[in-house]
Amino acid sequence: MISKMQKLLLVGPQKKKEAILKTLQKAGVVEVMPYKGKEFRTDGRFVTTANADTALSALKLADKYAAMKENENRKPRDIDLPATDLANKIIELDSSCKKMRDELALLSSKLKTVETLGDFSLAELRSVEEKGKIRIQIWETTKKAAEEIDFSGALAVFRIYSDSAKEIFLTCAKEKITLRKCSEIVLDEDLATLKKEIGELKDRKNGTESAIFDISTHRKELYDNYLAELDKISFNRAAKGTVSEFDDKVFLLQAWCPKSEMANLKKTFENECAAIIEIEPEKDETIPTLIDSKKAVDEMGRDLVNIYDTPAYTDWDPSSWVFFSFTLFFAMIVGDGGYGLLLFVFMLFLKIKLKNPSSAMRRFINLSLVLTGATAVYGILTGAFFGWFPSSAKPLHIALFDYLPFVKNIKLNDKGEYLTNDTMMMVSVVIGMLHICLSLILRGLRAAKDEKDFVSPLINLAWIGGIWSFFFWYVFKDGGSKVLEVANPAAISANGLLSLEIFAGILVVLYAIQAKTFNPFKMLYASFFGLYNGVQFFSDILSYIRLFALGLSGALLAQTFNKLAADLIPTGDGTSTAIVIICYICAALIVVLGHTLNIALCLMGGVIHGLRLNFLEWYRWCFDGSGKQFVPFKNLTTNAKGND
């Protein structure tokens, strides 16, 4: 249910503004809006977010290092520091860690080069240079260039290292020389010194990481610190949205509050030196939308709606409609009972395993259980299990189906199967028609109840009649249907065409009336463009064929993997045991990896296209959308639960 909102004006003395705003924030039931002519800003001049950014960075680092060190059997050291200092400390230590990693990478690169030269003493090398009054240099070049180097300036040349790509050699000369096509390796540390330095640096890095891990165990304090910084930002935004009057003695603040909370809010401010005045919203002012429902179905549906859009304040709550239709579409697209049961068991295990999940995680698990359960039921109805279909003509072995009229009228194909491609395509189209008709009914009811518009509901009813008239005319126009058996298809088709013409005429008249003018050209214009909606209805309904197409593609892919695995199984008696074992292992891998890939593709298709049909094809016919979500001015630190 979308809560009714009341716009209010809060008036209080300037000297008590901070206390009054803190009381308002503690109440947590209003959305503060900037006073006319003011605006919320988050730069240095208005509200700074630097501390919150630091707190968030610290929280992310705590999670990162906790995951890195979680397998180490080491008791973390307790740290007695304020949360703000903990946040600054973990960022400082991480910065040091990054520098040490860079130094290690540089030293490791040096070590790799020095290792090719062997274990030598740099001091002894310098001593030889001094005593022999010579200059020793080390060079690196490519294998090809080494053949063209002129060593005429060198007293002696020693090849130190050679492989297929490069050569390293040492030259002795009276003074420093330069060689073309060579790069000189300048040594400032020998192998032993480098290894010692790298070891010491690794010890310092590990010690720093351990210190960060110690801080990461204080995640709750870091999380509370982050929420506290967000509370400060929220408070400062509210303070910057006020205006001062009467020589800066009084401040004014505008806000939105659910009408159901107005009594509690006024009671909260009974002992405060402030007044709450109910005011009317301005014309064309955007009123925030609060979908307030404690029902599990509505909560899950609200999460789905918020993925795409926020309903307008004038809309009806679409949560339950979206939830049930999305569940059906998801089940039809995934369509495999085996997949549904497997995922249902996994989500059930997750629900049992997580003892204290956040509210968002709890809703996600509940939604997943419903979706996977619906998929399992749909798979049982259609007889699909991991790409395997029972050979029975009827998909569900329940005698009740023998007494359902619509099943009796469904034609069997040459193989005696009920759920043929033609049947499932027809089912998808009919579901699309029912879904679009539902949207037209909801829109008509809204128009009549909220807008006192009684022409729009009649137009929508005429469209519903026209949609079904077109369906019966088209399906039976060629003397019968490939799917349904009826006694007199020609009569049904003729009556459908006649009804279509009648409803078209009614729509022309109703659109002309809705134009609210006696100008014949404007009336004709309104009727023409009103009838043009028929093209959009036609394309939207055809979009529901994706329910069949995606379900079919998933089933075919599952069957393909099953066939590939089956073809690997040896059928002859002369095959060796080793070959048989290898074939079975490969077949098992194909089945496991193939169905894993197919499950992932089916899940993506179910989520993406299930939501698409709800919002692109259905939502716009019955709801306005493009609303502004209600964001309460509240203390996050006192309202947070766990990690929610």
Rounded mean pLDDT of the chain? Answer: 84
**Count of CB atoms situated within 10 Å of the CB of 253:** 25
pLDDT in tens, 26-38: 998 999 987 665 5
Q: How confident is the model at residue 399 (pLDDT cuts 50, 70, 90)?
A: very low
CB distance 373 to 328 below 8 Å: no
**Count of CB atoms situated within 10 Å of the CB of 8:** 19
- DSSP lists the bridge partners of residue 252 as 11, 243
CB distance 10 to 24 below 8 Å: yes
Residue ranges per structural domain of the chain: 120-189, 292-413+547-628, 420-544
In 3-state terms, what secondary structure has residue 174?
coil
Place of tokens 């205006």: 243
Task: Quote the crossing angle between the two packed helices 455-476 and 489-514, to the nearest 10°.
Answer: 160
pLDDT at 245 (0 to 100): 84
516 pLDDT above the threshold of 50:
yes
Q: How confident is the model at residue 428 (pLDDT cuts 50, 70, 90)?
A: very high
pLDDT at 186 (0 to 100): 83
Place of tokens 């004014």: 252
Question: How wide is the angle at C-alpha 429 spanned by C-alphas 427 and 432, nearest 5°?
Answer: 110
Rounded Cα gap, residues 51 and 249, in angstroms: 31
Rounded Cα gap, residues 40 and 47, in angstroms: 8
pLDDT at 193 (0 to 100): 86
Q: How confident is the model at residue 130 (pLDDT cuts 50, 70, 90)?
A: confident
Instruction: Please indicate whether residue 593 or residue 143 has the higher confidence score (pLDDT).
Output: 593
pLDDT in tens, 138-187: 888 888 888 788 888 888 988 888 888 888 888 999 888 888 888 888 87
Q: How confident is the model at residue 540 (pLDDT cuts 50, 70, 90)?
A: very high
Integer CA distances (angstroms), 352 to 346, 347, 377, in order = 10, 9, 22
Over residues 563-583, the mean pLDDT reads 82
pLDDT in tens, 43-77: 334 445 678 888 888 888 888 877 766 555 566 67
Instruction: Please indicate whether residue 392 or residue 157 has the higher confidence score (pLDDT).
Output: 157
DSSP string for residues in 501-514? HHHHHHHHHHHHHH
| Tokens matching residue 329 | 């579409």
Rounded Cα gap, residues 346 and 357, in angstroms: 16
419 pLDDT above the threshold of 80:
no
Instruction: Return the percentage of the chain with pLDDT > 90, whole number.
Output: 33
pLDDT at 459 (0 to 100): 94
pLDDT at 512 (0 to 100): 92
DSSP string for residues in 155-173? SEEEEEEE-SSEEEEEEEE
In 3-state terms, what secondary structure has residue 407?
helix
pLDDT at 30 (0 to 100): 92
When mean pLDDT is compared over 206-210, 310-314, 595-599, 613-617, the highest value belongs to 595-599
Taking the alpha carbons at both ends of the chain, their separation in whole angstroms is 23
Determine which of 95-104, 209-218, 397-406 has the lowest per-residue pLDDT on average: 397-406
Phi and psi, residue 346, nearest 5°: -65, -45
Instruction: Please indicate whether residue 624 or residue 45 has the higher confidence score (pLDDT).
Output: 624
State the sign of the Cα–Cα–Cα–Cα dihedral 577, 579, 580, 586: positive
Give the predicted TM-score (pTM) of the model.
Answer: 0.75
Over residues 75-88, the mean pLDDT reads 78
418 pLDDT above the threshold of 90:
no
Q: How long is the chain?
A: 644
pLDDT in tens, 448-473: 988 888 899 999 999 999 999 999 99
Rounded Cα gap, residues 332 and 378, in angstroms: 7
pLDDT at 154 (0 to 100): 85
Rounded Cα gap, residues 225 and 53, in angstroms: 11
Instruction: Please indicate whether residue 65 or residue 317 has the higher confidence score (pLDDT).
Output: 317
595 pLDDT above the threshold of 60:
yes
Helices (H), 44-188: 50-69, 83-117, 122-132, 143-146
